[in-house]
Amino acid sequence: MFSAPKSTSKGQSHRARTFDPEDSKRVKHTRIGVWDLYEEKQPIFGWDIPGTSTLEYYLEITRSLPYVWQMLKDMSSIQNCWIFATLYVIVGLALSVIPAASLWYSGQLLTIIQTAIDTRTVDKDFLVRISAGRTGCAVLGRLLGHAKASLAYPLSNRLKQHYTMHLFHARARLDLPTFEDPAVRRQIEEASHSSRGGVAWDTFSMMVTAVSTAINITSEVSMLVAVLKDQPDGTLLAVICLSQSFLNWFSEIKSAGQGHSVWAATTRNQDYVKMRGLMRVVSLPEHRKEFVAGNLAEYCNTVFREATQRVGYEAGDFPEVWRHWKGRRRLSFASIFKEPWKELPQIVFTLRSMQSPASIPASLASLNLIQTTASNFGFTVYAFAYQFGSIADQLATVRKLYDIVNIPNRIPDGTVPFPEDAQKAKAGIDVEFRNVSFRYPDSEIWALRNVSFKLIPGQLGVIVGANGSGKSTVLKLIMRLYDVEEGEILIDGRDIRTLKLGDLRQSVSVLFQDYTHFPLSIRDNIALGNPSHAANDDQVRLAAKLGGAEEFIERLPEGFDTYLERPVPDHYSALPEGTKTIFGNPVKYGGIRRAADMQSSTGHNLSGGQMQRLAVARTFMRSMVSEDSTVGLLLFDEPSASLDPTAEHGALLSTCACAVGSLSGFLAKDLFERLRQLRGDKTMLFSSHRFGSLTRHADLILYMNDSVIEEAGIHSELLARDGGYARTWKLQAQAFI
């Protein structure tokens, strides 16, 4: 809904095991406008101050250290990384002592002033040397700062690239149920979370900054003590100024609101929710068709006006309302005393100067020195706390980054290679369900109950039944996207759980009902049907032809190189009205601009039927066009759902020049017929709502209802039985009369 402030987005989950907004002992509730904010109650000297000690906090750091060590070792494997890293550390450390060196020179200037007051003489050479040193420090500080920023770029890029591959691998290796698990998704999200250059860079720069900050503060404070110990009231002024910067920091942290605490906000104001919904209805292009056709303008205007009046002036996005509320809350005890406290050093100084007017110049110089150092000191600590949140949280992110590559998959791999005989498998494999029952993860409802059937090599099976009866689930279980809960599935007589997963999936081809297209080029989308032949353009084109997709692909301006959805959008400002296309794509303006004056261009829009032909082409790529394909079982989930009749009957395609001898024959026939001819002896299993040509040819029809197989047999048998299948078949037949 909104992005949390930076300091809050880090460092929450692993400390607070659970967060229950209703737990009033631990959670404070505040009503802000239409929003209910729930904040975990925090002890003042608990988590609020980054780096403060508690056992859990240190344990967290201790647990993460081996992973940080691993990260440092991994950095050595990245080209030139250690050179940049070492230089970065050296420059960072050198920078951290510059303020102390400047302070030393300033102290020397103080001594010169003091001597001048006492003796009325100035050592000019010494003054020149000290002034040069002081100026040199400033110049060196600037140069080192520049060098640090210049080193940060190549270093962070190297780390980013390395860990992007790491994250890619970690995500790619997960199976479906593991990937769908919300806990796993969260784990991945947390491991990928980073502000700028990735987790590794953030951690590395945090460590360098932590050490530099420590050196900076220690050296500055000790230098300040050394410089001021002989100055009149130096120590008193230093204490007042440092306490002032502490007060400042404390009030900032408090007013930053939740610091590092856990919080959540929701709105229960139905009028506000409705207002936001209506606002989207009138703003987004996807609703406009129905909005206009449904004549909704007047009704929506009235409802929106009424809802707005009821909500009053309290409506607003949470971040906006929250920011305003925090501004009001900023009037804390610390913030009230902060201002008068600032005047205290001046008051002390004035009192002292009245007592001994001769020391005014020296005192003035030391006051200035102390104030500058104290404000630097406060700023350094605050900047560190703000940038990195908590050290423990940052280090814990590294642990998560490494842990995600070890997330166990829910579907364990088998050990038996499959098939034993590739030629035989290619010519069809058999599949058998024995008393299979299955529930989806975290679901109480049985998706399949006691399902048994057998298809022998070369047979055509069709599963028919109402929505939600379990048809697609049968296909998913054959692919081992999930494992059965009871019973077993056998492929060529072997329990699929014993077979090597890669081999099993290599031998089966599936076209899902809810197939997706990858945000890659059309060529790649088809080629991924058979990754081992992805570079073979002829096969890709043949697969496109067989799937009935070649003709419309060729008509696209970029043909097979067209991206259906470009993963990298072009960005542009508000272009002059006459600009209709840019970079070959139409200029589009959405109802709501996502980022100031930036707008992304999207890819081409294909019809549902064209999209499905692409998906069919990918299936053909996998199963038909390659000589060495080991696919022996073809699964189709509602393959003709969005194909128009022309496409199904191949009329459009009959004009295609066919590349293979017998191709023209079956292009003119209906899709099922084409599939039947192309498959040779491969076993096929369809799930379909449609009865008709497909079921008439089926060797086995499974009529499913409410997760069980109610009837099984061939078309004529099931018609004769006059049960659910016959009823539905007659209903569908009547619809076409």
- By beta-carbon proximity to ligand ATP, the closer residue of 359 and 469 is 469
- By beta-carbon proximity to ligand ATP, the closer residue of 468 and 692 is 468
**Of how many residues is the chain composed?**
737
**Using CB under 6 A, which of the segments 17-25, 130-138, 469-477, 519-527 binds ligand ATP?**
469-477
Distance between CA atoms of 491 and 498, rounded to whole angstroms?
Answer: 10
| ω into 419 cis (within 30 of 0) | yes
Told to check if 443 binds ligand ATP by CB under 6 A, we report yes
Q: Which residues are CB-neighbours of 727 under 8 A, at least 6 positions away?
A: none
Q: How far is the CB of 455 from ligand ATP (least distance, A)?
A: 18
Kindly write out the interface string for residues 158-197 of this chain, putting x where it contacts ligand ATP by CB under 6 A and - elsewhere.
Answer: ----------------------------------------
- By beta-carbon proximity to ligand ATP, the closer residue of 233 and 637 is 637
Told to check if 639 binds ligand ATP by CB under 6 A, we report no
571: enclosing H helix or E strand: strand 571-572
Rule CB under 6 A: choose which of 82, 440, 515, 572 binds ligand ATP: 440
- By beta-carbon proximity to ligand ATP, the closer residue of 34 and 694 is 694
- By beta-carbon proximity to ligand ATP, the closer residue of 32 and 474 is 474
Rule CB under 6 A: choose which of 267, 473, 630, 640 binds ligand ATP: 473
> Phi/psi at 701 (nearest 5 deg)?
-110, 130
**Using CB under 6 A, which of the segments 122-130, 187-195, 390-398, 441-449 binds ligand ATP?**
441-449
- By beta-carbon proximity to ligand ATP, the closer residue of 394 and 619 is 619
**Using CB under 6 A, which of the segments 369-377, 378-386, 443-451, 590-598 binds ligand ATP?**
443-451
Told to check if 470 binds ligand ATP by CB under 6 A, we report yes
Q: How many other CB atoms sit within 10 Å of the CB of residue 31?
A: 9
Distance between CA atoms of 573 and 363, rounded to whole angstroms?
Answer: 57
Told to check if 467 binds ligand ATP by CB under 6 A, we report yes
- By beta-carbon proximity to ligand ATP, the closer residue of 144 and 477 is 477
217: enclosing H helix or E strand: helix 199-228
Q: How far is the CB of 727 from ligand ATP (least distance, A)?
A: 17
- By beta-carbon proximity to ligand ATP, the closer residue of 22 and 514 is 514
**Using CB under 6 A, which of the segments 34-42, 162-170, 405-413, 468-476 binds ligand ATP?**
468-476
Q: Which residues are CB-neighbours of 460 under 8 A, at least 6 positions away?
A: 676, 683, 684, 685, 686, 697, 698, 699, 700
- By beta-carbon proximity to ligand ATP, the closer residue of 244 and 513 is 513
**Using CB under 6 A, which of the segments 289-297, 325-333, 442-450, 567-575 binds ligand ATP?**
442-450
End-to-end distance of the chain based on CA atoms, in angstroms?
51
Rule CB under 6 A: choose which of 219, 248, 371, 469 binds ligand ATP: 469
Told to check if 453 binds ligand ATP by CB under 6 A, we report no
Kindly write out the interface string for residues 589-608 of this chain, putting x where it contacts ligand ATP by CB under 6 A and - elsewhere.
Answer: --------------------
Q: How far is the CB of 513 from ligand ATP (least distance, A)?
A: 5
**Using CB under 6 A, which of the segments 50-58, 67-75, 93-101, 437-445 binds ligand ATP?**
437-445
Distance between CA atoms of 162 and 154, rounded to whole angstroms?
Answer: 12
Rule CB under 6 A: choose which of 100, 224, 365, 447 binds ligand ATP: 447
- By beta-carbon proximity to ligand ATP, the closer residue of 220 and 637 is 637
- By beta-carbon proximity to ligand ATP, the closer residue of 148 and 471 is 471
Q: How far is the CB of 174 from ligand ATP (least distance, A)?
A: 15
Kindly write out the interface string for residues 492-531 of this chain, putting x where it contacts ligand ATP by CB under 6 A and - elsewhere.
Answer: ---------------------x------------------
- By beta-carbon proximity to ligand ATP, the closer residue of 440 and 515 is 440
Q: Are the C-beta atoms of 721 and 496 separated by less than 8 Å? A: no
Three-class SS of residue 535?
Answer: coil
Distance between CA atoms of 489 and 433, rounded to whole angstroms?
Answer: 5
Distance between CA atoms of 258 and 7, rounded to whole angstroms?
Answer: 9
- Of 109, 113, 106, the residue nearest 359 (C-alpha): 113
Told to check if 445 binds ligand ATP by CB under 6 A, we report yes
- Of 479, 483, 476, the residue nearest 504 (C-alpha): 479
Burial label, 309 (beta-carbon count in 10 A; 0-12, 13-18, 19+): exposed
> For residue 500, what are its two tokens?
């090597």
Told to check if 108 binds ligand ATP by CB under 6 A, we report no
- Of 531, 456, 447, 520, the residue nearest 491 (C-alpha): 456
Q: How many chain residues touch ligand ATP (CB under 6 A)?
A: 14
Told to check if 461 binds ligand ATP by CB under 6 A, we report no
Distance between CA atoms of 507 and 503, rounded to whole angstroms?
Answer: 6
Q: How far is the CB of 473 from ligand ATP (least distance, A)?
A: 3
Burial label, 580 (beta-carbon count in 10 A; 0-12, 13-18, 19+): exposed
Site for ligand ATP in 677-696 (CB under 6 A): 687
Q: Which residue has the tokens 């004056």?
A: 597
Residue type, 701: I
Given the DSSP bridges, would you call strands 27-32 and 35-40 parallel, antiparallel or unpaired? Answer: antiparallel
Burial label, 477 (beta-carbon count in 10 A; 0-12, 13-18, 19+): buried
Q: How far is the CB of 331 from ligand ATP (least distance, A)?
A: 51
Q: How many other CB atoms sit within 10 Å of the CB of residue 434?
A: 16
Q: Are the C-beta atoms of 428 and 682 separated by less than 8 Å? A: yes
Rule CB under 6 A: choose which of 108, 244, 380, 472 binds ligand ATP: 472
**Residue ranges of the alpha helices (H) in 330-390?**
333-355, 360-388
685: enclosing H helix or E strand: strand 683-688
**Using CB under 6 A, which of the segments 299-307, 363-371, 438-446, 722-730 binds ligand ATP?**
438-446
Distance between CA atoms of 671 and 729, rounded to whole angstroms?
Answer: 20
Helix pair 124-172, 81-119: axis angle to 10 deg: 150
Site for ligand ATP in 109-148 (CB under 6 A): none
- By beta-carbon proximity to ligand ATP, the closer residue of 68 and 704 is 704
Q: How far is the CB of 468 from ligand ATP (least distance, A)?
A: 4
Integer CA distances (angstroms), 90 to 93, 97, 192, 567, in order: 5, 11, 28, 40
> For residue 151, what are its two tokens?
């080193």
Told to check if 316 binds ligand ATP by CB under 6 A, we report no
Q: Are the C-beta atoms of 486 and 436 separated by less than 8 Å? A: yes
- By beta-carbon proximity to ligand ATP, the closer residue of 439 and 715 is 439
- By beta-carbon proximity to ligand ATP, the closer residue of 351 and 641 is 641
- By beta-carbon proximity to ligand ATP, the closer residue of 119 and 467 is 467
Distance between CA atoms of 204 and 209, rounded to whole angstroms?
Answer: 9
Rule CB under 6 A: choose which of 198, 345, 419, 465 binds ligand ATP: 465
Q: Are the C-beta atoms of 632 and 624 separated by less than 8 Å? A: no
Rule CB under 6 A: choose which of 5, 177, 468, 487 binds ligand ATP: 468
- By beta-carbon proximity to ligand ATP, the closer residue of 469 and 683 is 469
Contact set with ligand ATP (CB under 6 A): 440, 443, 445, 447, 465, 467-473, 513, 687
